[in-house]
């Protein structure tokens, strides 16, 4: 049986036969299409908001050997607790309901055998009157884990009410005494007295009864209606157990931090600045900690608004990783992504076992973007906790739908991950109304995987004024396309390069052959063929190779090596310097045929095509270590004049 009616029928039959019986219904994923990364999951049709939003919230947790999530169920039209079956990459519904409201969003905390779900009604409008008028409650659901049946049971007396107002985002955490804390932003007031937007908090000894909402006691807690806040428990390993609230303040462009020591008076807060500066804040933040960390450090991913400054350099930070050290009481920052990378909606995940910090964010699938905030694919970068410096570029794509470049709002667990748990992240596509997830290994900085596509080539006759090659079959958004064009006379003017291609080599110094090189990042709608115009009729060859797994948007590494030589039996191209994981790409052309060209054996250098003496040979390899690559050489079956180029495309990691 399939569908909602079948599920209800099975549930009724199970209840009639056995009384209280756990019904598990697998939600099967569709088969992955060529170019997809990650796994497509169930539908969330009917949800008012992207169900994996908002930025500081967590929808996932690991418990009893499995990953779990609170997910919107299109069939039952409510939120449900589901478990990931890793063997089939399917989410299995436990049948346990959470919030029935389609317009709500959850934040999840797993602590021992208890599961806490804070569910709030979402209001994202910047209109203060509308925000105040939507007075719907934020509720706390508390569940107890049933190990025998691998499910959760709602505790008696729940849900409880945290607050009576809607908000853009609400998060919860638990301090070292077992007390729960919630933080959110809220617009209050009326047309008579005026409106204020402030950072609020409340706490509870057990989740059943909550203190009245209070405003964080700092003038900087008066914020813009669009600002958000997040709460985190930290410092247990350092003996400084505390609750922290991080919030954005777009009124003055800064990010602020409030600290409450566990056991102190409920209104006893110390506040400070995490980041100060013009346009250094936006309503995007995610904050995490490792409780066992003896330094008590806190990590947060934040988004700036520097892209709203006219003429801001493309190298300006768009996403920053902040680090707080209780020992100094101060924050430091490092750049995760620049304005050119165009990231949005970042989250932090901490690898406790290997002392690594993972940051995930949304980025466009094509090389550029019209503005930040566009959906696309989910990218990851990893850095050591001790020195969180990230490689340049967009990152390694970990979730991508080749048919719908609209993935967004990645979410993960609050708690750190280990090699035993692995790392599961969840995202959603609001166009197709489908969940996506990625199940990633834990233990080291990932090296991009090269999954090569097809290679297409063409031989151009004399008297031709254009060279045209077909798009390699199987090309998917985010793939890198590399093209080499060899001409026997004539040249390719700048205006003769097809749209979207970046020049690697503009032909070189030799008059014959002239060897051009280009690359581009495939978008969602690539043409079937690409054509380069030539200034005068000529003969020549062209080849194009598509390589998946490299988003290449960060461009060339440290330079291009271009060389040529007189008649000889071999040609050598000087090396370049590039970081680990870069794709070394080279192309060699000769002036005559029929003559074969052979790449001299070197490490993992792979010959991609040789046009049987028609002047062109191409090779690539993935660099295993940072630094200079050394030269690369090709041999010819007969002496020929030659020309070529070599460069390293830095993967987006």
Give the structural domain span for 579: 451-649
Do residue 466 and residue 595 come from a single domain? yes
Distance CA 70, CA 196 (A): 32
Query: Does residue 83 lie within any of the structural domains?
Result: yes
Query: Does residue 208 lie within any of the structural domains?
Result: no
CA distances from 91 to 17, 399, 428, 429 (A): 26, 17, 14, 16
Q: Which pLDDT score is estimated for 31?
A: 46
Domain end call among 442, 462, 488: 442
Q: Which pLDDT score is estimated for 162?
A: 98
Q: What tens digit of pLDDT does each residue of 26-56 get?
A: 444 444 565 789 999 999 999 999 999 999 9
Which of 151, 124, 152, 121 is CA-nearest to residue 139?
Answer: 121
Query: Does residue 420 lie within any of the structural domains?
Result: yes
Do residue 505 and residue 615 come from a single domain? yes
Do residue 458 and residue 431 come from a single domain? no
**636: which strand partners?**
597
Do residue 478 and residue 614 come from a single domain? yes
Which helix (DSSP H) or strand (DSSP E) does residue 15 occupy? helix 3-18
Cα 621 → chain centroid: 25
Residue whose structure tokens are 């039952």: 76
Q: What is the CA angle 349-350-353, rounded to 5?
A: 145
Decide: 345 and 364 in contact? Cβ < 8 Å: no
Q: Which pLDDT score is estimated for 544?
A: 60
Domain end call among 388, 409, 442: 442
Query: Does residue 599 lie within any of the structural domains?
Result: yes
Do residue 579 and residue 482 come from a single domain? yes
Q: Which pLDDT score is estimated for 118?
A: 98
Q: Which pLDDT score is estimated for 26?
A: 41
Q: Which pLDDT score is estimated for 624?
A: 66
Tell me the DSSP string of 209-267. S-PPPEE-SSGGGB--TT--EEEEEE-TTTT--EEEEEEEETTTTEEEEEEEETTS-TT
Tell me the DSSP string of 69-129. EEEEETTTTEEEEEEEETTTTEEEEEEEE----TTEEEEEEEETTEEEEEEEEB-----HH
Do residue 403 and residue 432 come from a single domain? yes
Q: Check residue 130 and report its DSSP letter.
A: H
Query: Does residue 311 lie within any of the structural domains?
Result: no
| 523, burial (CB in 10 Å: exposed 0-12, middle 13-18, buried 19+) | middle
Decide: 297 and 324 in contact? Cβ < 8 Å: yes
Collapse the DSSP code of 496 into the 3-class scheme (helix H, G, I; strand E, B; otherwise coil) and give the result. Answer: helix
Distance CA 428, CA 437 (A): 8
Q: Check residue 525 and report its DSSP letter.
A: S
Query: Does residue 547 lie within any of the structural domains?
Result: yes
Distance CA 546, CA 568 (A): 31
Do residue 490 and residue 616 come from a single domain? yes
How many folded domains does the chain comprise? 2
Do residue 438 and residue 474 come from a single domain? no
Q: What tens digit of pLDDT does each residue of 448-497 get?
A: 445 556 777 777 768 778 888 888 877 777 777 888 888 887 888 988 99
Runs of H (alpha helix) within 495-645: none
Query: Does residue 3 lie within any of the structural domains?
Result: yes
Domain end call among 384, 408, 442: 442
Q: Which pLDDT score is estimated for 649?
A: 81
Query: Does residue 321 lie within any of the structural domains?
Result: no
Distance CA 30, CA 10 (A): 23
Encoded tokens for 94: 């436990």
Do residue 435 and residue 455 come from a single domain? no
Collapse the DSSP code of 188 into the 3-class scheme (helix H, G, I; strand E, B; otherwise coil) and give the result. Answer: strand
Do residue 459 and residue 402 come from a single domain? no
Decide: 618 and 452 in contact? Cβ < 8 Å: no
Do residue 553 and residue 622 come from a single domain? yes
Do residue 502 and residue 604 come from a single domain? yes
Q: Which pLDDT score is estimated for 609?
A: 77
Q: 10-residue block means of pLDDT along the chain (653 residues)?
A: 32 31 40 75 97 97 98 98 97 98 98 96 77 83 97 98 94 98 90 87 98 93 92 95 97 96 96 94 96 93 95 91 92 92 96 94 82 88 88 86 94 96 97 97 61 70 80 76 84 89 89 88 84 80 57 54 93 86 84 80 72 77 77 90 88 49
- Phi/psi of residue 308, nearest 5 degrees: -85, -5
């Amino acid at each position: 049986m399939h569908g909602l009616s079948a599920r209800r029928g099975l549930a009724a039959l199970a209840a009639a036969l056995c009384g209280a019986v756990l019904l598990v219904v697998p939600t099967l994923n569709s088969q992955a299409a060529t170019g997809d990364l990650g796994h497509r999951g169930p539908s969330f049709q009917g949800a008012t908001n992207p169900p994996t939003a908002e930025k500081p919230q967590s929808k996932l947790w690991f418990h009893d050997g499995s990953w779990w999530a609170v997910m919107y169920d299109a069939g039952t039209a409510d939120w449900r607790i589901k478990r990931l079956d890793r063997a089939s990459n399917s989410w299995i519904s436990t049948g346990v309901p959470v919030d029935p409201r389609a317009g709500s969003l959850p934040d999840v905390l797993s602590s021992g055998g208890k599961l806490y779900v804070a569910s709030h009604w979402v209001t994202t409008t910047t209109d203060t009157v509308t925000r105040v008028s939507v007075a719907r409650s934020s509720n706390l659901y508390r569940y107890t884990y049933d190990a025998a049946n691998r499910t959760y049971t709602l505790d008696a007396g729940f849900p409880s009410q945290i607050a009576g107002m809607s908000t853009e985002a609400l998060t919860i955490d638990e301090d070292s005494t077992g007390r729960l804390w919630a933080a959110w932003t809220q617009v209050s007031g009326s047309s008579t007295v005026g409106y204020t937007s402030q950072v609020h908090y409340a706490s509870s000894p057990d989740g059943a009864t909550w203190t009245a909402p209070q405003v964080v006691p700092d003038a900087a807690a008066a914020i813009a209606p669009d600002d958000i806040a997040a709460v985190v428990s930290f410092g247990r390993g350092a003996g400084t157990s505390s609750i922290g609230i991080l919030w954005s303040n777009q009124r003055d462009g800064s990010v602020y931090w409030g600290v409450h020591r566990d056991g102190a008076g409920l209104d006893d807060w110390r506040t400070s600045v995490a980041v100060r500066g013009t346009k250094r804040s936006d309503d995007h933040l995610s904050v995490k900690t490792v409780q066992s960390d003896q330094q008590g450090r806190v990590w947060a991913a934040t988004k700036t608004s520097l892209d709203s400054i006219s003429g801001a350099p493309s190298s300006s930070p768009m996403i920053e990783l902040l680090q707080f050290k209780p020992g100094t009481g101060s924050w430091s920052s490092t750049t995760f992504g620049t304005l050119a990378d165009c990231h949005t909606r970042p989250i932090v995940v901490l690898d406790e076992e290997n002392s690594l910090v993972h940051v995930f964010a949304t980025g466009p699938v094509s090389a550029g973007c019209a503005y930040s905030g566009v959906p696309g694919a989910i990218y990851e970068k990893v850095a050591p906790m001790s020195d969180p410096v990230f490689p340049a570029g967009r990152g390694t794509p970990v979730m991508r739908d080749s048919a719908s470049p609209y993935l967004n709002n990645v979410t993960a667990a609050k708690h750190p991950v280990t090699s035993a748990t692995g790392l599961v992240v969840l995202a959603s596509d609001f166009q197709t109304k489908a969940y996506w997830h990625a199940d990633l290994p834990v233990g080291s900085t990932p090296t991009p995987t090269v999954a090569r596509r097809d290679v297409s080539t063409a031989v151009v006759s004399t008297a031709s004024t254009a060279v045209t090659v077909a798009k390699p079959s199987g090309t998917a958004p985010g793939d890198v396309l590399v093209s080499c064009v060899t001409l026997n006379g004539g040249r390719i003017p700048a205006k003769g390069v097809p749209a979207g291609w970046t020049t690697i080599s503009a032909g070189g110094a030799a008059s014959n052959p002239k060897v051009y090189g280009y690359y581009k990042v495939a978008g969602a709608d690539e043409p079937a063929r690409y054509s380069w115009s030539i200034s005068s009729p000529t003969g020549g060859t062209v080849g194009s190779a598509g390589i998946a797994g490299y988003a290449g948007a960060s461009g060339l590494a440290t330079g291009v090596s271009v060389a040529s030589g007189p008649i000889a039996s071999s040609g050598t191209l000087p090396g370049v310097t590039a970081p680990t994981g870069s794709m070394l790409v080279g192309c060699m052309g000769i002036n005559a045929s029929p003559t074969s060209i052979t790449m001299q054996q070197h490490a993992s250098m792979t010959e991609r095509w040789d046009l049987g003496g028609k002047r062109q040979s191409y090779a690539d390899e993935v660099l295993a270590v940072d630094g200079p690559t050394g030269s690369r050489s090709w041999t010819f079956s007969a002496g020929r004049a030659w020309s070529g180029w070599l460069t390293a495309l830095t993967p987006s990691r």
